[in-house]
Amino acid sequence: MSFRVAIVGRPNVGKSTLFNRLAGRKMAIVDDTPGVTRDRREAEASLGDLDFTIIDTAGLEEAAPKTLENRMRKQTELAVREATVALFLIDARAGVTALDKHFASWLRSTGKPIVLVANKCEGKAGQSGLGEAFGLGLGEPIPVSAEHGEGLSDLFDALRSHAPAVEEKDADAPDDDENKPLQLAIIGRPNVGKSTLINRLLGEERMLTGPEAGITRDAIAIDWQWKGTPIRLIDTAGMRRKANVVEKIEYMSVGETLRAVRFADVVVLVLDGEMMLEKQDLALARMVVEEGRAIVIGVNKWDAVKDKKQAVKKLTDRLEASLAQIRGIPIAVFSASTGQGVDKLMPTVLQAYKLWNTRVSTGELNRWLEPIVEDHPPPLNKGRRIKIRYMTQVKARPPTFAIFASQPEAMPESYLRYLVNGLRQRFGLEGVPIRMLMRGPKNPYVDDKD
């Protein structure tokens, strides 16, 4: 049975570095700038034979009500409330500060088990801070270096006392791979309502929201279920035009978003209903299509749109003109702030996911292909007709087809588009990327081993 471990502490003490170390891979953005982490982030972690959920949190600091920093602190408080044990990090090189003392007192008042961790203890620079840490009244501090992986055996001993008894796995239990969650990434420009949408779907204030643009920095994954279907929701940082991205942290945030898209099954591109489909939105849509992900257009702030019929027509016309290679992209309209229409989003997502996983038998494909080619045969190349022999689907996710033909390198793109459009119409593959591969006859004079 897994347990939950929250990493807390003031800004810039190395919480995200320790989070990445325990998670076994770089997941959280790490930078010397204080306050990089804003939302709480979770990941499965292990230390020795301990398996647990690790939670990265925003830096604890005093803040005025209704400020972003105050909302960040509330997220950290929620993480501690839901955790089994809290790791309270201090920077041993900087020593114990007044802020450390203040939040040590707050942590004691929560009643949660606390493990005091003195980070940055490599070498002798942290020895004085390690001695000061005893004065916090949280027990003996554990010296570690999250960056270099030192002191983790002592941390293991401290966490083991808080771990529940290990339950043996039932041999007849279903394989976890059979119930892998649908990876659903929510992307869009800054301030279009991505985090508000996720909070509305979850039914709780899980993500930080507010009028400030660019609040979300990391790609935050949240496990969830929708009517029995396991979903992994991924909130991402807003993406501006590449020319406008100049700060290092924003550049890293964009990299996290791109990675989320690459590993997603379905991507919801959220638009602002009042500004609709702008140039940057089209660039994001093309990126999703090029990655071969299923895409759904989600139009937020729909309650503020006055002429809704005209707005839908404008959107569909723009999509058909600018993304002709993927006709029929599904559209869901809603207001994340009020909840109006949000219930229609997930059925649209699951339908897109189903089409993205479509498989068509070779027999069906070739029964469809024969009359299509007879009605409109491929063009001549240097006086010779390109002959299509047969077609087969080589993979799904997205649907990918291979055409075996003579002179495959001479097949024009226009004819491939003709076949793709026919496939969409015949097999109902509207709105999902389709990949077409050309294969030629095997040359008997070429040795495969060479």
CATH 3.40.1190.20 fits 3-160, yes or no: no
| Nearest-angstrom CA–CA distance, 426 and 419 | 10
Instruction: Determine how β-strand 388-395 pairs with β-strand 400-405.
Output: antiparallel
CB of 22 closer than 8 Å to CB of 102? no
Q: What single string gives the DSSP state of each residue in 353-398? A: HHHHT----HHHHHHHHHHHHHHSPPPEETTEEPPEEEEEEEETTT
Q: Which of 228, 229, 247 is nearest to 237 (CA)?
A: 247
Long-range contacts of 58-61 (CB under 8 A, 24+ apart): 58/11, 59/9, 59/10, 59/11, 59/12, 59/13, 59/15, 59/34, 59/35, 60/8, 60/9, 60/10, 60/11, 60/99, 60/103, 60/106, 61/10, 61/11, 61/99
Alpha carbon distance 265, 353 (integer Å): 7
The candidate with the shortest Cα–Cα distance to 126, out of 94, 150, 88, is 94
Q: How far apart are CA 299 and CA 336, in angstroms?
A: 10
pLDDT per residue of the chain (450 residues) written in tens, 0 to 9? 468 898 888 888 888 888 888 887 765 544 444 444 556 778 888 887 788 888 888 766 665 656 656 666 677 788 888 888 989 998 888 888 888 888 888 888 888 899 999 988 887 777 878 888 888 888 888 888 888 888 888 888 888 888 775 444 444 444 444 568 899 999 988 888 888 898 889 887 765 555 554 455 556 788 889 999 999 888 887 775 555 555 554 556 667 778 888 888 999 999 998 888 888 889 889 989 998 999 999 999 999 999 999 999 999 998 888 887 788 899 999 999 999 999 999 999 999 999 999 999 999 999 999 999 999 999 888 888 889 999 999 999 999 999 999 888 989 999 999 999 999 999 999 889 999 999 887 655 555 554
- Look at domain 177-356 and name its CATH class: alpha beta
Cα distance between residue 184 and residue 294, in whole Å: 10
- Alpha carbon 290 to its chain's center: 17
CB 432 within 8 A of CB 326: yes
- Virtual torsion, Cα 66, 67, 70, 75, nearest 10 deg: 90
Q: Which structure tokens are listed for 169?
A: 């796995």
**Rounded to an integer, what distance in angstroms lies between the CA atom of residue 39 and that of residue 261?**
19
* pLDDT score recorded for residue 77: 80
Given this model, what pLDDT does residue 329 score? 93
Number of H helices, E strands in the chain: 12, 17
Question: For 362-439, which CATH class?
Answer: alpha beta
Structure tokens at 396: 């799904």
Token readout for 429 is 């593959």
Check residue 261 and give left, alpha or beta (phi > 0: left; psi -120 to 50: alpha).
Answer: alpha
Q: Which two tokens stand for residue 259?
A: 């990675």
How many CA atoms are closer than 13 Å to the CA of 340, on its beta-carbon side?
A: 10
Residues 343/301, Cβ–Cβ less than 8 Å = no
Same fold, 3-160 and 177-356: yes
Which amino acid does the sequence have at 291? E
| Model pLDDT, residue 174 | 47
Residues 181 and 223: beta-carbon distance below 8 Å: yes
Q: What residue ranges do the domains of the chain occupy?
A: 3-160, 177-356, 362-439
Name the token pair of 130. Answer: 């390690």
